[in-house]
């Protein structure tokens, strides 16, 4: 597996690391067989709970604009692949001295815990302890999406999990897409229980921002979206404010899954649920003492159509994390399109002291 490493300066003069993973060719008959079985199990589970999913039929009112995905050239060359090192990094023995082996996976808008099935299998194989949660009204959680109005309620499965941890236990949080807002909210409330926070092409907002603000360049302002979008859901009737939104299936394919395997797209098509609008439009209150004291890392996805690489780079500049990593060839769902590269990065971040 090749990677590129470089250092960039934060506004305060400190350095942050940036590494690009190109993905690998690791494959084996056993891994392929296990993956096929996981596909079948995950798809079966999604179909069983399909009644909990809510469909939204609408039409696209305008073309969602895209921004340039051109990247600055790196002067670093790819180091040679060392298979022995790769095996050592993945081995349980290599992870004995970690601050924590507990990794909590938080899905993005419309997804559920089901989307992490590849990542869960890989992390467990490496000796880590992954936990994937369904946010309120997501996945197989039966709460009506239209009744989820605040980020506090939306994040409750995560905050309940953190609140029930033993006092000295810590976890690594991984937030995908808008799940990054839930991670930020949790960092403000439970900083002592969070070892590191990883934003996976996520909404790493600053104090006072809405999660939706991150997508504004591609979806339009919050005010425009609420007024004009054809993707809105009015769960309490047309005369009342919108309660959620959901893209059409063909639109989701282009935005989220432009590099993902067909089997994973099929799984997503029967599993995605509407996104509660209230949490996306809520301003976050983040303090330097809590959120600001946490260790944050960002993973950029370089073939992302939902949150373009340029917007992700802007997030990193405006709210600098401790480290920045990049996955080449990944769409907005690296847990589908580049699961091995994502796994390598999560293991590497877990080892950072």
Residues designated catalytic: 177, 304, 332
Residues 6+ apart with CB under 8 A from 172: 100, 102, 103, 104, 194, 195, 196, 197, 198, 346, 349, 350
Q: Is the dihedral of CA 315, 320, 183, 206 positive or negative?
A: negative
How far, in Å, are 54, 127, 189, 329 from residue 297 at the CA level?
33, 21, 19, 20
Q: Exposed, middle or buried: residue 253 (CB in 10 Å: 0-12, 13-18, 19+)?
A: middle
**Contact, 260 vs 337, CB < 8 A?**
yes
How many Cα atoms are found within 13 Å in the side-chain-facing hemisphere of 78?
Answer: 12
Structure tokens at 340: 């091995």
* Tokens standing for residue 194: 């969070």
Nearest one of 153, 95, 109, 161 to 132, comparing CA atoms: 161
**Pairing mode, if any, of strands 171-176 and 194-200?**
parallel
Burial class (CB in 10 A: 0-12, 13-18, 19+), 289: exposed
Provide the 10 A C-beta neighbour count for residue 128.
22
Among 311, 298, 318, which Cα is nearest to 207's? 318
């Amino acid at each position: 597996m090749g990677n590129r490493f470089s250092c960039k300066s934060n506004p305060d003069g400190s350095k942050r690391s940036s590494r690009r993973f190109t993905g690998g060719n690791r494959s084996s008959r056993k891994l392929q067989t296990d993956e096929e079985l996981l596909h079948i199990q995950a798809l079966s589970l999604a179909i069983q709970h399909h009644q909990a999913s809510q469909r939204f039929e609408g039409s696209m009112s305008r073309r969602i604009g895209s921004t340039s995905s051109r990247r600055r050239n790196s002067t670093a060359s790819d180091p040679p692949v060392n298979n022995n090192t790769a095996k050592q990094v993945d081995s349980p023995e290599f992870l004995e001295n970690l601050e924590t082996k507990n990794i909590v996976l938080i899905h993005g808008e419309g997804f559920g815990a089901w989307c992490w099935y590849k990542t869960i299998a890989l992390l467990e194989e490496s000796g880590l302890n992954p936990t994937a949660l369904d946010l309120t009204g997501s996945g197989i959680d039966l709460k009506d999406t239209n009744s989820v109005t605040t980020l506090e309620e939306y994040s409750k499965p995560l905050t309940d999990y953190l609140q029930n941890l033993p006092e000295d236990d810590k976890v690594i949080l991984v937030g995908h897409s808008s799940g990054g807002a839930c991670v930020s909210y949790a960092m403000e409330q439970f900083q002592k229980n969070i070892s590191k926070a990883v934003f996976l092409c996520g909404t790493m907002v600053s104090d006072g921002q809405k999660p939706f603000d991150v997508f504004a360049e591609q979806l339009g302002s919050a005010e425009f979206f609420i007024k004009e979008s054809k993707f809105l859901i009015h769960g309490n009737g047309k005369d009342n404010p919108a309660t959620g939104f959901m893209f059409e299936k063909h639109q989701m394919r282009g935005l989220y899954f432009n590099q993902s395997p067909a089997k994973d797209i099929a799984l997503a098509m029967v599993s995605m649920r509407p996104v509660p609008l209230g949490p996306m439009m809520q301003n976050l209150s983040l303090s330097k003492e809590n959120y600001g004291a946490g260790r944050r890392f960002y993973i950029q996805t370089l073939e992302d159509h939902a949150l373009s690489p340029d917007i992700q780079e802007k997030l990193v500049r405006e709210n600098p994390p401790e480290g920045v990593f990049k996955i080449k060839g990944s769409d907005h769902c690296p847990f589908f399109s580049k699961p091995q590269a994502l796994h390598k990065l999560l293991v590497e971040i877990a080892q950072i002291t």
